[in-house]
């Protein structure tokens, strides 16, 4: 699937496809997420230093660094959410065009292209492989192809979300121990501190706590998303057990449900995808082989 675009005038550079721009915008969002995570790590380290050091000047300096890093981290998260929102909007247009053959009008495509930031535009132009085919279904456009494309996306997202949730839970446990240690250190030294020093240490200790609550929210959203996507996968699987092609309205309803679910948690980091890609590829290939196998006599397709 090429992703579509405009015919370029002779001599003009080839315009990247919407598919390439979508992938590039997802990459931009993930980069903002990585910057945000790095800033939060810095904030936690500075918060720990501010909470345990005895020197007031150092404590206040570390506290300022912790609060500033936390604030910048939240700004980066907003940038990541903006990039992801545009990428998801493009993904919806791409999946409907590929699945049902619905064309994207020139006005809508032009408006969409104008919203991609220069970072994504440059990345899409410099990485032609981003325009490679997105789905593996060989069925002609229609409800059945949209169902196949959607189920492939659901399968990958459900399993990656559950894997990422396990990593997030590990981070929550580690951060929980860090926060507990900071609180205990602060309590043991409270008698030796004046009001100004105690206030600085309290602010410093709040930063790791806020980062921990953010990690808890991340774990919960990923775990919940993984569970709900598996339920959606089961609903899509049910359409295969019926005779004939699925109804367009039913597949569109499931597609809109998927659109809602993918926005309930941040995107899975690329390193988790790369680490589990081969195994998930094998699992999905096994499912495709089962779908292609003839149904047993008197039964339904597995």
**CB contact at 8 A, 280 and 159:** yes
Residue 68 pLDDT more than 60? yes
Nearest to 205 by CA among 183, 172, 184: 183
What is the SS3 assignment for 113-126?
HHCCCHHHHHHHHH
What average pLDDT does this structure show over 229-253? 89
Residue 302 pLDDT more than 60? no
pLDDT digits (tens, 9 = 90+) for 89-131: 898 888 888 888 888 888 888 888 899 988 889 888 887 666 6
Q: Is 7 exposed, middle or buried (0-12, 13-18, 19+ CB in 10 A)?
A: exposed
The model's pTM is: 0.78
What average pLDDT does this structure show over 178-201? 66
* pLDDT band at residue 194 under the 50/70/90 scheme: low
pLDDT computed for residue 295 by the predictor: 53
Long-range contacts of 88-92 (CB under 8 A, 24+ apart): 88/259, 88/262, 88/263, 90/18, 90/21, 90/22, 90/25, 91/22, 92/259
pLDDT computed for residue 190 by the predictor: 56
What average pLDDT does this structure show over 288-297? 69
Nearest to 21 by CA among 100, 138, 104, 78: 104
């Amino acid at each position: 699937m090429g992703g579509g675009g405009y015919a370029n005038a002779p001599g003009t550079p080839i315009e990247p496809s919407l598919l390439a721009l979508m992938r590039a915008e997802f990459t931009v969002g993930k980069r903002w997420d990585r910057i945000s995570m790095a800033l939060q790590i810095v904030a936690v380290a500075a918060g720990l230093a501010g909470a345990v050091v005895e020197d007031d000047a150092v404590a206040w300096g570390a506290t300022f660094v912790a609060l500033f890093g936390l604030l910048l981290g939240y700004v980066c998260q907003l940038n990541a959410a903006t990039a992801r929102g545009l990428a998801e909007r493009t993904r919806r247009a791409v999946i409907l065009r590929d699945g049902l053959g619905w064309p994207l009008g020139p006005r809508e495509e032009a408006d969409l292209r104008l919203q991609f930031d220069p970072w994504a535009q440059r990345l899409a132009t410099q990485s032609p492989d981003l325009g490679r085919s997105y789905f593996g279904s060989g069925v002609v456009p229609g409800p059945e192809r949209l169902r196949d494309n959607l189920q492939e996306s659901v399968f990958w997202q459900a399993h990656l979300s559950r894997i990422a949730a396990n990593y997030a839970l590990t981070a929550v446990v580690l951060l929980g121990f860090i926060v507990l240690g900071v609180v205990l250190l602060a309590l043991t030294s409270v008698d030796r501190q004046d009001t100004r020093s105690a206030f600085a240490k309290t602010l410093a200790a709040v930063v790791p706590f806020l980062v921990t609550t953010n990690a808890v929210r991340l774990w919960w959203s990923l775990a919940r998303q993984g569970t709900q996507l598996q339920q959606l996968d089961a609903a899509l699987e049910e359409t295969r057990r019926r005779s004939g092609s699925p109804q367009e309205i039913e597949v569109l309803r499931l597609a809109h449900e998927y659109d809602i679910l993918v926005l309930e948690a941040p995107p899975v980091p690329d390193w988790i995808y790369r680490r589990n890609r081969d195994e998930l590829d094998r699992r999905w290939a096994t499912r495709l082989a089962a779908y292609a196998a003839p149904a047993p006599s008197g039964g339904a397709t597995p």
